[in-house]
């Protein structure tokens, strides 16, 4: 049995997405910009998909702009917001625990002369509203705080943070990276009150290479790409219809049983945590465990790559910190104050709505075997 427990890195595309992708590749391959029947059919598919993704986010279809994924959405939001607001001020606030798709664009803006405050997380991985309020300045033009963290599973109080920014009469635009939050918690952009929000298709059982940026109605940003004027002139390029339709199909499928799936993931997460604690009393399980799908785990004294290899030999797949930071210590767990040996032995187990109890049992068995093998006991 393959135990795929690396769903925060990427997910298996669901059947509904695969069906839609195949249909678009083989039947509806017209260009939505073409003015013949096939083009118009493709355009209808595009409209339908945009409406579906908008419904998942709780906004109007015109506020959804398709991108190539979470990284592009984050980059576009950050660079264009900084550019749009640059005359009002040069101060940006983000957190130390953001994904590199946010941290690296912000670091680039810092090189370009913006001043950046990186908020530290608390021991449980969350960042407090007070920390943000204390950092706000009259010249703060952008706040970017993620909704759910991809390594710790911490959920940030984004709605209250947006309120704090507005109450402070600060001009800042608020961006949130919701890549790990979509379909892992009820999400409503209007309730959150954010100006910009990033999501990604391959984290929700959709295809890779597709994501979306929510841009609040009325907010005018610079285009990401210039060209044929697709996506309201803001993100030119022929729309990748198979990915777009697959992303929308994955949204529809996930929406159907959202609350039940969240409850089930939480139950399985708690089951795994309880049994890891029983089987490996020395295991460190840091953070507040708020996201239903992420279990950060450290086995002090054992290196994470070794754990991953041992697990892989048993067909169990997990990752060390975030999958994209191969071999490096997790900047998230480091900011949360974990010790060096905890950081070196950190792995991330991540669930999906398709995860089964037997997979978690196999993972725990494999962890115990890995520990015995690696500590020679």
The answer to whether residue 175 forms part of the interface with ligand PLP (CB under 6 A) is no
Token pair, residue 271, equals 């089951």
Between residue 19 and residue 48, which ones bind ligand PLP under the rule CB under 6 A? none
Per DSSP, helices labelled H in 168-237 are: 189-192
Among 42, 179, 213, 307, binds ligand PLP (CB under 6 A): 179
The answer to whether residue 94 forms part of the interface with ligand PLP (CB under 6 A) is no
Smallest gap from Cβ 341 to ligand PLP, in A, equals: 25
Nearer to ligand PLP, 52 or 319 (CB): 319
The reply to whether 3 belongs to the active site is no
Length of the chain: 377
The answer to whether residue 71 forms part of the interface with ligand PLP (CB under 6 A) is yes
Nearer to ligand PLP, 179 or 276 (CB): 179
Angle at 132 between CA 130 and CA 135, to 5 degrees: 110
Place of tokens 């767990």: 333
With CB under 6 A as the contact rule, which of the stretches 34-42, 63-71, 182-190, 299-307 interacts with ligand PLP? 63-71
Token pair, residue 279, equals 């089987």
Smallest gap from Cβ 29 to ligand PLP, in A, equals: 24
The answer to whether residue 99 forms part of the interface with ligand PLP (CB under 6 A) is yes
x/- mask, ligand PLP, residues 209-248, rule CB under 6 A, reads --x-------------------------------------
Between residue 255 and residue 314, which ones bind ligand PLP under the rule CB under 6 A? none
What is the separation of C-alpha 329 from the centre of its chain, rounded to a whole number of angstroms? 19
CA distance 242 to 248: 10
Residue 4 phi/psi, 5° resolution? -90, 105
CA distance 16 to 20: 6
Q: Collapsing DSSP states into helix, strand and coil, what is residue 136?
A: coil
Cβ atoms < 10 Å from Cβ of 27: 10
The answer to whether residue 177 forms part of the interface with ligand PLP (CB under 6 A) is yes
Q: Collapsing DSSP states into helix, strand and coil, what is residue 227?
A: coil
Catalogue the active-site residues. 324
- Residues contributing to the site for ligand PLP (CB under 6 A): 69-71, 74, 99, 101, 146, 150, 177, 179-180, 200, 202, 211, 324
């Amino acid at each position: 049995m393959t135990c795929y427990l690396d769903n925060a890195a990427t997910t298996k595309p669901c059947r509904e997405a695969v069906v839609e992708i195949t249909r678009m590749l083989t039947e509806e391959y017209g260009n939505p910009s073409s003015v013949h029947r096939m083009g118009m059919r493709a355009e209808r598919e595009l409209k339908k998909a945009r409406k579906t993704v908008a419904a998942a986010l709780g906004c109007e279809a015109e506020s959804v702009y398709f991108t190539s994924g979470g990284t592009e959405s984050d980059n576009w939001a950050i660079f264009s917001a900084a550019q749009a607001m640059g005359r009002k001020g040069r101060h940006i606030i983000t957190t130390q625990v953001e994904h590199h798709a946010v941290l690296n664009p912000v670091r680039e803006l810092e090189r370009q002369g913006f001043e950046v405050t990186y908020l530290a997380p608390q021991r449980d991985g969350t960042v407090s509203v007070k920390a943000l309020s204390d950092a706000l300045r009259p010249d703060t033009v952008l706040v970017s705080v993620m909704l759910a963290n991809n390594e710790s599973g911490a959920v940030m109080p984004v709605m209250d943070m947006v309120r704090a920014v507005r109450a402070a009469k600060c001009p800042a635009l608020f961006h949130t990276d919701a890549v790990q939050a979509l379909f892992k918690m009820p999400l409503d952009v209007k309730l959150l009150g954010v100006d910009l929000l990033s999501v990604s298709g391959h984290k929700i059982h959709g295809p890779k290479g597709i994501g979306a940026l929510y841009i609040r109605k009325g907010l005018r940003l610079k285009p990401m790409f210039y060209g044929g004027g697709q996506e309201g002139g803001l993100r030119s390029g022929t729309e990748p219809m198979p990915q777009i339709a697959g992303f929308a199909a994955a949204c529809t499928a996930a929406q159907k049983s959202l609350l039940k799936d969240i409850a089930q993931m939480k139950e399985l997460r708690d089951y795994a945590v309880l049994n890891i604690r029983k089987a490996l009393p020395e295991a460190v399980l840091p953070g507040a465990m708020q996201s239903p799908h992420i279990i950060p785990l450290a086995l002090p004294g054992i290196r994470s790559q070794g754990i991953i290899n041992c697990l892989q030999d048993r067909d169990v797949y997990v990752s060390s910190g975030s999958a994209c930071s191969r071999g490096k210590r997790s900047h998230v767990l480091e900011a949360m104050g974990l010790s060096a040996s905890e950081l070196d032995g950190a792995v991330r187990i991540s669930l999906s709505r398709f995860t089964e109890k037997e997979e978690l049992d196999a993972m725990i068995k494999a962890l115990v075997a890995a520990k015995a093998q690696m500590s020679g006991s």
